Structure 1
């Protein structure tokens, strides 16, 4: 029987996870499986029937759609990472409008020196740390659709957005832009938040490339992760597979890759005075860049020391990092996503780690999932999950078993062990 549910915009929802996901203890003393919590909080996926495939859904993001006004104050951080010095910008959601600053995105101003010095609180409101997608920033409407639902609720959440270097009209003070494996800025932000807001439970969310970075960060932190839980949306996962998939079709290459490459080239041009301090960047080749993989070949490679864009993609991919995640972790992808393609989703890895759950929808596109009226379905799913886990789960009582990075008991002796964060089989010393 032919499935015609797409005609009505009804997307099929599927979940992938380990046979037995971790048990979470509720504040009432009951126990719930992470997989059950994810499934019960995920609403039915009814999308705009006129946007009946991933290309139409994704294209609709270019249309001016339903706004979600969010006001920010920006704080500039000096990086504490010696191998990647410089500054980065974090935008904090605030509730009082202030004077317009034409040097920053709409509804964004800098903290004054007095305001910056007084940031901090002993309140216990949950706080969301947000990572945006490629060449984006705190102004992106897809992330504001989630923030608006959380921060406007009575007694609701606090939130901030970590802007990738050079993005969201931030200045670069050293020759570095974003890197899909560069987790040090989010790590420094989380450490600072933990000190400034000692009682706040911290949660994370990442979108597209930011989802890849967040997954890498959570995997690197392992059991030491300060986040209570994390959500990732439209993660491209295996960056090499996703890149090759874009290059395989005309629309992938000439529409998506060309647009993303063009956006990154504009970012380079805005910060070229810094980036061209790197001696091995070939300016003639940079001037001819059309596609995203060319940007990664001629700018990202020389910047970070990768010999090819493929080496960069393999190193930065978050597929193996997923195996090292040790906090409740919920991922949402659309199977018809033309950018974060279905073939790059690590389905088998999700089955190996009891801390992670994958939700896939048959329709939705890339960071889209548009419904009639302009709302985004994924925002409802994300908010429902975050609200439930923040309101109902007792994280202090939620104990985990001694589970290794591959989902099995940690092996003893000197048997070969796969370390997901080093991506090599090795013999433990």
Structure 2
């Protein structure tokens, strides 16, 4: 009967021999025990008694805390996938309020001037959190600001790496973001390491951003400059989650349709830059309603995949975990409508 009061259980999965970390007192504690001690009890609103209601509530709740950003455009250094992406840096409220509003950007976001950017670097040793948003999102998202606000209030610095074409950013090549694209994150973090050589860097990713972050940390292995990383609501196996969405009416007509609609809005915004992309059929794109249809018509051909299934299999992070060499925390809800523990009957996601 505990569910009537909103009490939910928490389960933990970790390596048989978890990493040991030093404490301020000089003793050591296993990473697994540290997480168990730091994780508060899960107390949910009893009226939101399943994952569907909890997910839908996020669309109607308050606007979240105001967070002010200054944006920097990065030119990609990738030899195969040139283009540009943006990074939004959290700035103090006072600095944000005295800045002129830029209607071309999300609310409370403006560009750094070249003069301002020249003085951004610092030798301070404040911790810094690098954030990655979910599908078609950006630094303006409520869930992301709910994370950034308390962290920066506690004295941390923070920034958000926006996916290509997201958060009202422009694209200069006929490609949007990619669920497999770790290269922009890699470039951003490497640049942050140079700008702030003494800052401990941490990262957190949400949903698709969690998938990208997981792959990035795994690819970096022992070379990873992050002190630790957190993946929230990672879909892990994109192909299985895609099939799971198509197995139910809610999955198709609510979640997949909403995500597909958001991607179509993104396409419309960048249509002139995308329409001449290799392999794109605009008539086919116009008929897209669902997430997998958009990925089949747009993402797969623009990134060189023969099918959306090939795209999902290449992008998934489910097997990347074994290559991670830094403290890494993954948080998933067992009733997550998009990445449930048993997405296709007896097929279980391992994390």
Structure 1 and Structure 2 fold alike (TM over 0.5): yes
In the alignment, the residues of structure 2 paired with residue 138 and residue 88 of structure 1 have an alpha-carbon distance, to the nearest angstrom, of 13
In the alignment, the residues of structure 1 paired with residue 304 and residue 348 of structure 2 have an alpha-carbon distance, to the nearest angstrom, of 27
Tell me by how many angstroms 1:175 deviates.
1.0
Please say if residues 73 and 91 of structure 1, whose CA atoms lie closer than 8 Å, have aligned partners that are also in contact: yes
**1:67 alignment counterpart:** 64
CA RMSD of aligned residues (A): 1.2
TM-score, length basis structure 2: 0.96
Tell me by how many angstroms 1:27 deviates.
3.6
**1:243 alignment counterpart:** 242
SS at match of 1:338: coil
SS at match of 2:12: strand
- Aligned pairs for 1:4-403 (under 5 A) are 4-65=1-62, 67-95=64-92, 96-97=95-96, 98-153=99-154, 156-343=155-342, 348=350
- Where has structure 1 moved over 3 Å in runs of 4 or more? 344-348
Tell me by how many angstroms 1:257 deviates.
0.2
Tell me by how many angstroms 1:66 deviates.
5.2
Please say if residues 241 and 343 of structure 1, whose CA atoms lie closer than 8 Å, have aligned partners that are also in contact: no
SS at match of 2:145: helix
Kindly provide the CA deviation profile for residues 224-271 of structure 1, in whole angstroms up to 9, marking residues without a partner as x.
001000001010000011000000000100000000000001101111
TM-score, length basis structure 1: 0.79
Tell me by how many angstroms 1:188 deviates.
0.4
In the alignment, the residues of structure 2 paired with residue 199 and residue 27 of structure 1 have an alpha-carbon distance, to the nearest angstrom, of 19
Kindly provide the CA deviation profile for residues 194-236 of structure 1, in whole angstroms up to 9, marking residues without a partner as x.
0000000000000000000000000000000010000010100
In the alignment, the residues of structure 2 paired with residue 115 and residue 166 of structure 1 have an alpha-carbon distance, to the nearest angstrom, of 24
Please say if residues 105 and 139 of structure 1, whose CA atoms lie closer than 8 Å, have aligned partners that are also in contact: yes
SS at match of 1:14: coil
**1:370 alignment counterpart:** none
In the alignment, the residues of structure 1 paired with residue 50 and residue 297 of structure 2 have an alpha-carbon distance, to the nearest angstrom, of 33
Kindly provide the CA deviation profile for residues 141-161 of structure 1, in whole angstroms up to 9, marking residues without a partner as x.
1011111111012xx100000
In the alignment, the residues of structure 1 paired with residue 47 and residue 311 of structure 2 have an alpha-carbon distance, to the nearest angstrom, of 38
**Corresponding residue pairs, total:** 344
Kindly provide the CA deviation profile for residues 7-29 of structure 1, in whole angstroms up to 9, marking residues without a partner as x.
21111111011222011122432
Question: What stretches of structure 2 of length at least 5 have no aligned partner?
Answer: none
Kindly provide the CA deviation profile for residues 267-326 of structure 1, in whole angstroms up to 9, marking residues without a partner as x.
011111111221311111100000000001010110111111111111100001111110
Higher relative contact order (CA 8 A, sep 6+): 1
SS at match of 1:203: strand
Please say if residues 127 and 200 of structure 1, whose CA atoms lie closer than 8 Å, have aligned partners that are also in contact: yes
Question: What stretches of structure 1 of length at least 5 have no aligned partner?
Answer: 351-429
